[in-house]
Structure 1
Amino acid sequence: MADDIRAHGWHCLHILPGPDGEAGFSYSIGFQTTYNAPEVMVFGLQRSKAHALLSECAQLLAGGHQIHTGVEDADVLDGGYKVIFRTVREDCHEDYLGMAVRHRGGQPLQAVVMFLPDKEHRFAWQPDYNDAQADEALGIVM
């Protein structure tokens, strides 16, 4: 992890789905240190897709892009699709972002979940959303 952060500015950690139905997710470690941006989590994607999305975020951040929560961001995805970032509650940091917490070495952690739209551009909290289960992701954000 430390080698990846030194070489690339960040590391991607993948967490497998849990035995009790918990969603699998991936998150960045190093965005806060390298780009002064929150760590980013994505839920329910295959590893390669999650890594590609987080890599796109890293490239955008390296170019000066800023992550703003609660607003649509059109720069991450192609095809006119937008994402929305929402802040992860601090009481969830240790359970969900333990390696990032340890990487920060006692300094405060900032983290967001990146929510992806369905094919009709709806988000998980909107009526008729029709994509991957987002209950767990919604449960850890403010």
Structure 2
Amino acid sequence: MGARRPREPIDRRSGRDDRGAPDVTDDVFPDRNMDHLDKIRWIIEEQGWAAEPVPAVEEPEPQPSYTYTIGFEPTFGSPEVVIIGLRPVAARGLLGIIADQHRAGVSLPVGQLFSGLLDGDLRCCLLDVDPVECGGMFPSLDLINEGGEYRMQQFVWPDRRGWLPWEEHYEERLRLAQPIIGTWS
């Protein structure tokens, strides 16, 4: 391999280097130092909603990771949704499927089992959540809403065999990963 050529200086006004070539390192986030809430607002402005991942906590009491939406209520007129126990990328994918349903005008049932949303026709459900009882689980949503009220639902997902957390044959190792914070309507 030959020696690498030094990078030409970039003219920030035109976005081109001294040779007139476009700057291929343009960042989709023009300001990586943007405040977190401003990033969330920007994402909502661009796509109608944002997914906010929260990492697992080991101490003082172990709690699983979760991801929740910000923007479902103003964009779709539907409650925000939280998914507990899945990796953020998987949760974001499911939340995107739910957003697509809302965008298409589909009303997903709440407080009852349904299928057709997940591969293999696996059953799942949405349960109503009382955000006040959850004591600060949704801090970015609280800040975006400036302390105002909002509705929240928990999307409950099955194990690989199709069992849900309250069913006898649900994988035991997943019970702690997906605590049920929602209630049946």
By relative contact order (CA 8 Å, sep 6+), the higher-ranking structure is 1
Aligned length: 141
**CA-to-partner distance for each residue in 1:3-58, whole Å, 9 max, x for gaps?**
11111000010000012211100011000110011111111111211111111111
Unaligned runs of 5+ in 1: none
* Deviation at residue 107 of structure 1 after TM alignment: 3.4
Partner of 1:126: 167
Partner of 1:137: 179
* Deviation at residue 99 of structure 1 after TM alignment: 1.4
Partner of 1:56: 97
Partner of 2:49: 10
Cα RMSD for the two superposed structures: 1.8
* Deviation at residue 72 of structure 1 after TM alignment: 1.8
Look up the equivalent residue of 1:124 and give its one-letter code.
P
More displaced stretch, 79-88 vs 26-35: 79-88
Partner of 2:13: none
Cα pair 1:11 1:29 within 8 Å, conserved = yes
Partner of 2:69: 28
* Deviation at residue 94 of structure 1 after TM alignment: 4.4
TM-score normalised according to structure 1 size: 0.89
1:41 is aligned to 2:86: no
* Deviation at residue 137 of structure 1 after TM alignment: 2.9
Select the structure that is richer in helix. Answer: 1
Cα pair 1:84 1:116 within 8 Å, conserved = yes
* Deviation at residue 135 of structure 1 after TM alignment: 6.8
Question: Residues 103 and 137 of structure 1: is their aligned pair in 2 closer, same or farther, counting only changes over 3 Å?
Answer: farther
In the aligned structure 1, how far is the partner of 2:119 from the partner of 2:126? 16
Specify the structure having the higher radius of gyration (Cα): 2
Cα pair 1:118 1:129 within 8 Å, conserved = yes
* Deviation at residue 80 of structure 1 after TM alignment: 1.1
Unaligned runs of 5+ in 2: 1-39
1:87 is aligned to 2:87: no
Look up the equivalent residue of 2:51 and give its one-letter code.
C
**CA-to-partner distance for each residue in 1:60-79, whole Å, 9 max, x for gaps?**
11001223321123232121
* Deviation at residue 134 of structure 1 after TM alignment: 4.5
Partner of 2:12: none
Partner of 2:112: 71
Which of the numbers 141, 165, 177 marks the counterpart of 1:100? 141
In the aligned structure 2, how far is the partner of 1:74 from the partner of 1:23? 25
